[in-house]
Homo-oligomer: A and B are copies of this chain.
Amino acid sequence: MAYDALIAHVKQTESISQAQGILGWDQEAVMPPRGAEQRAEQMGALEAVIHARRTDPRVGDWLAAIDEGTLDDGARANLRLIRRDWQRNQNMPGDLAEAIARATSRGHGVWAQARAASDVSAFLPTLTEIVNLKRQQADAQCLDRESRYDALLDGFEPGMKTEPLDAILGSLRAPLSDLRARIAGSGRQLATLEGQFGPDGQMAIARELAGVFGYDWTAGRMDLVTHPFCSGTLGDVRITTRVDEARPFDCLYSTVHEVGHAVYEQGLPVALERTPAGSHASMGVHESQSRVLENQLGRSRAFCGWLHGRMVDTFGIDMDAETFYGAVNYVSPGFIRTEADEVHYNLHVIMRFDLERALIAGDLDVADLEGAWNERFAADFGQHVTDPAQGVLQDVHWSAGLFGYFPTYSLGNIYAAALHEKLAAAVPDLDAQLAQGDTSAVVQWLGQNVHRHGSVLSAPELMQQAVGGAVTSAPLVAYLDAKFSDLYGI
């Protein structure tokens, strides 16, 4: 049968893609330094195999031959997702794909050097080339009635369109900017946690945290890397973290974050393994799973009480639980997105979303990007960027051609808050459980309402079903406002 042949092909391709994932993990976590050269060749060779399989003409033949009437929901979802990918791939000229691969491969080095030298002009020619190529890609791939940005967004957040995304992210900007200003004007400074925290103690708590948030250690492992990430799916989902002896929350909360991603991957539907319908719904939904554990749950007063106990036991910290809760949620304006607190984070993202949309639409010239960045930053953060390394050059994404990725971060935060509102209603004694370090009811709720669905529903459909209606930014605004009004007495 055509469907079975198609799925067998897709599964084998996915196995090769998984192998690439293992090599990627290996490269960051355990590879010896001199292995880099042969690793690049291995990755390239696998990429060529995967590309050839994804554009194999037989895929088109199978798709044409399938009788949809005989298929169940999972199979129909697979057909929809494979057909869509196939169409996008068919629309992507081979020489354009190669040009993008070359430009972004070179782009990374150029960007890293420019950032190190705080020299925007050194990056502009490369960025101009990449933006032009991505515009061409968008023109080639955009489907019926899509905007250019829609076509790029689809690679990360399938099912989402620019217009509703703009509406929901845009609705965050004013309330967040207002909350930021009220906190800055409150005159209150929360305490920070000072001291040195040895790696063994941090890792012991990090491991315990992983278990507490539902990570299955028989289907994973944790290692140290420079930039933490999560990789793999189902029976082999590996998390990573890092240790800075002066900043234990970095290790602990990045662990909880990656565990959120990992528990999603471990909980995907086994029956649909290695098929598109069996994988995560979108980057935004993925991010929501990490953020709800990290922020709404992990940084709650109740859970901080539990973590405070562990920090006292392990490091003998001299700070009461309420002050500790404040230290975990310390708000500080800053230039760097990846170091931002819950209040500032989405302001960073929305700004990038607006700027990259303008670049792709052709409404903003790459030459004017730095000025636009700095102006917007001053407006939203009340601070002036003086060093472009801390401004327009800070993120790797654009040099890698990742246009359409940034908004999924904030979408994840919006989804997280919306899910949290529902699960808090579904688990009445949630705070009491969190205070005991018990997240089992929460993780079970997420498994039931999100994880087990894979991509059988589109991300917007999945979210709508999980929260029982249209998703808005209201729960996130309400959550942040309540939490930080309380912490800052505003």
Contacts and interface: CB of A to CB of B under 8 A. Distances in A.
B33 A218 contact: yes
Nearest to A49: B49
A235 B37 contact: yes
A12 B49 CA distance: 10
Contacts of A232: 35
Contact of A235 (B38, B49, B218): B38
Interface residues of A, number: 42
A274 interface: yes
B12 A236 contact: no
Interface string A73-85: 0000000000000
B15 A236 contact: no
B37 A22 contact: no
Nearest to A236: B35
A286 to B, nearest CB: 19
How many copies of the chain does the oligomer comprise?
Answer: 2
Contacts of A48: 12
Nearest to A12: B45
Interface stretch (A24-32, A86-94, A386-394, A427-435): A24-32
Interface in A7-63: 11-13, 15-16, 18-20, 22-23, 26, 30-39, 41-42, 44-46, 48-49
A218 B34 contact: yes
B30 A46 contact: no
Contacts of A236: 31-32, 34-35, 38-39
A238 B34 CA distance: 12
Interface of A: 11-13, 15-16, 18-20, 22-23, 26, 30-39, 41-42, 44-46, 48-49, 216-221, 232-236, 238, 273-274
